[in-house]
Amino acid sequence: MGRLFWKFFLIFWLAQVVTSVGVGVAIWLERPAHGSEMDVFDDGPPPPPPGFTGMDRPPLPPHHLPLPLLPILAGSIVSLLFAALLAWYFARPIRNLRAAFESVAGGKLETRIGASMGRRNDELADLGKDFDYMAGRLQNLLDAQRRLLHDVSHELRSPLARLQAAADLMRQQPERGAEFVERIERDTSRMDTLIGELLTLARLDAGMTGKLDEEVDLREVVADVAEDARFETNEKRCMIEVDTSGPVTARGNHELLYRAIENVVRNAVRHSPDGGTVNISVQPVDGRLRVTVADGGPGVFGGDLAAIFDPFFRGASGDSLSGYGLGLAITRRIVEAHGGSASASNQAKGGLVVTMFLPLSVRAGQATPIVQERAEI
């Protein structure tokens, strides 16, 4: 038994023993005294019966009863049993929690304690549920870190191998140096992009978001994103339709919000068919700004809708496309840093819809007209 058990045991037992002794002594003191039969007669003792001798007189009853030791002893034994049961009841789940903490500290993150709590419905049972939630979160975070390390290693291995191959070939065939230099520059640029996105993701995870109190007009942000997309995907001749209505001023960081929307739009254009349409909508809904980006691509398998916001995730339809699978992960981190949320769903007519909710900041006396824009890219 642990120290806590004996503390509970001694406290409960002493409390009950003191109670039993106190009750017994109080009863003993409150019992009426037994006086002599002589007190009944005011004129003296009654005359002795005929033939009575002094040797035959019965002894007078005692003035007080003896201390009730037997009830006190019985109460002490019963209190001993109940104190042991109560101490065991309270100390057992705490010992289980301690063992579970030691197990998690030893690296066994799959440890759970909820089943050992039985049918308890008290604060200790709630503590066990909180422990299970904590262990689950730690396990998920550690698994995510391991997957991230594995994916980063995989993504860096290929361009590093190509760089090494290009360097070796350039030594062997110096006349093709310009060709190999171009390949080296291309792979170096890809590695620089990957490292930049990883650093951005790490800063967001660490809460290094900068100031989030700017007044950001999302109409300007969306217009700039659409304009930039025109130069990157002009060969696909996609249509971008922008629809903004009502007050669309958000409170946050202009650069981060631009990055969040740009990542989603780039992803939508990348998965849209040639000549397809990407719809961007910014609407105030229930005191928040709802930003939706819809494309006409193949969509995402239903079981992968939540996973597309995980780093390095690629759906079955996007394995052959460029990118590292970090764009939507960065978008979700930015939106959550602003106190919003991001989700994805498939359209009934086909294609993916990414929805972002952001805090609305309406400045007094400012009215925002409805703006509809269509840009061909």
What would the two tokens of residue 155 be? 């993504």
Q: Which spans in 212-338 are helix H?
A: 218-232, 254-271, 327-337
- Residue tagged active-site, from 63, 64, 154, 338: 154
- Give the model's pLDDT for residue 238: 79
- The pair phi, psi for residue 88, each rounded to 5°, is -65, -40
Could you read off the pLDDT of 129-168 as tens digits, one per residue? 888 899 888 888 788 778 777 777 877 887 888 888 888 9
Say whether pLDDT at 54 is over 60: no
Angstrom distances, CA of residue 167 to CA of 127, 154, 180, 185, 186: 59, 20, 7, 12, 13
**Mean pLDDT to the nearest integer, 313-335:** 72
Whether residue 321 is predicted with pLDDT greater than 80 in this model: the reply is: no
* pLDDT, position 38: 44
3-state helix, strand, coil in the chain (%, to 5): 55, 15, 30
Q: What is the CA angle 307-232-354, rounded to 5? A: 30
Q: What is the pLDDT of residues 198-243, one digit of tens each?
A: 888 888 877 777 788 888 898 899 988 988 877 676 667 778 888 8
The answer to whether the CB of 350 falls within 8 A of the CB of 296 is yes
Whether 312 and 289 have beta carbons less than 8 Å apart is answered as no
Q: Which helix (H) or strand (E) holds 77?
A: helix 69-105
Residue matched to tokens 């062997």? 172
Confirm whether 338 is a catalytic residue.
no
Across 267-286, average pLDDT: 86
Largest CA distance in the chain: 154
Q: How many helices (H) and strands (E) does the chain have?
A: 7, 8
Q: Which domains does the chain have, with CATH numbers?
A: 136-205 (1.10.287.130), 214-376 (3.30.565.10)
pLDDT value of position 72: 64
For residue 341, what pLDDT band results from cuts at 50, 70 and 90? very high
Task: Look at strands 249-252 and 214-217 and give their pairing.
Answer: antiparallel
* pLDDT more than 90, % of the chain: 9
